[in-house]
Amino acid sequence: MLARSRQEAILDAVRRRGGVRVADLVEQLGVSDMTVRRDIAELARRGLVERVHGGAAAAGSSTEPGFAAKSTIRTAQKRAVGALAASLVEPGASVALSAGTTTVEVARHLRDVPGLTVVTNSPPVAELLHDPARTDRTVVLTGGIRTPSDALVGPVAVRSLRDLHVDHLFLGVHGLDERAGLTTPNLVEADTDRALVAAASRVVVVADATKWGVVGLTTIATLEEVDVLVSDDGLPADARRALAERTGRLLLAEVPAGTTAPPTAPQEENA
């Protein structure tokens, strides 16, 4: 296949799916890893795609605000979602939390739950829950490479999670989509999130309403793999229908207009 034909095929795949992995393109096009990377570099030089770790993404789709920037966005909704999600945890449970500003809010509300064992790849979550005076709480922080979203990711993080088993996982995501499922723009972070999912008896996704319809470069898990999805009452009707049908349980936190208070009575779309 000529270089022009390969590049057109890569560009078409990126436009249809939002992003592609180098490994998938090698298999699809029947060429070497190096050839695919050269083609992606040429497309990126022309401004048609963005080069990302392990693949290519649609121009403008692969960037994600850092942790500090995201901490200032939709704070009332995140607090409400975090409070509702934390209410699902019983004393003495083992809990995993992924990185993210919404999972930090879950952690904030878990501080009053006694006897927890917490596993996380988020330094902010670990710092929030670390309290030498709380001898009933154990916090385990994975190793790994730190991302702009303050996640520890990569082979070290995956290996540290491989043999663990936790009762609950609270997973933050970049995007939610009916077809693409749970997504992130970071391929390496996706591998770590998949390891978290594999370690959990119950997967609880925490995502405010703006995450619906957002598709990152790679899929972490399908909607069917989600046991509970916690969002806020700004979630549109089409999203409510899709998530109620595809996930095990959908909970919507009420966010009173003009306030930042957490909800007292969640809406439940399915049981």
Q: What is the domain partition of the chain in residue ranges?
A: 3-58, 67-270
Q: Which of 38, 40, 42 is nearest to 13 (CA)?
A: 40
Q: Give the Cα separation of 240 and 234 in Å (integer).
A: 10
CATH of 3-58, one of 3.40.640.10, 1.10.3720.10, 1.10.10.10, 1.20.81.30: 1.10.10.10
Residues 6 or more apart from 133 whose CB is under 8 A from it? none
Checking if the pLDDT of 265 tops 70, the result is no
CA atoms within 13 A on the CB side of 95: 31
Report residue 271's pLDDT band, with 50, 70 and 90 as the boundaries.
very low
Q: How buried is 28 (Cβ within 10 angstroms: 0-12 exposed, 13-18 middle, 19+ buried)? A: middle
CATH of 67-270, one of 3.40.50.2300, 3.40.50.10860, 3.40.50.970, 3.40.50.1360: 3.40.50.1360
The mean pLDDT value for 10-30 works out to 83
> Which residue would you say has higher pLDDT here, 199 or 267?
199
Average pLDDT, the chain: 88
The pTM of the full predicted model, rounded to 2 decimals, is 0.74
101-115, 226-240, 247-261 — which is least confidently predicted? 247-261
46-91 tens-digit pLDDT: 888 878 767 887 665 555 556 666 666 788 999 999 999 999 999 9
> Which residue would you say has higher pLDDT here, 94 or 217?
94
Q: Which of 227, 181, 224, 175 is nearest to 204 (CA)?
A: 227
The pLDDT > 70 percentage for the chain reads 88
120-177 tens-digit pLDDT: 999 999 999 999 999 999 999 999 999 877 899 999 999 999 999 999 999 999 999 9
Checking if the pLDDT of 100 tops 70, the result is yes
Q: Give the Cα separation of 90 and 198 in Å (integer).
A: 21
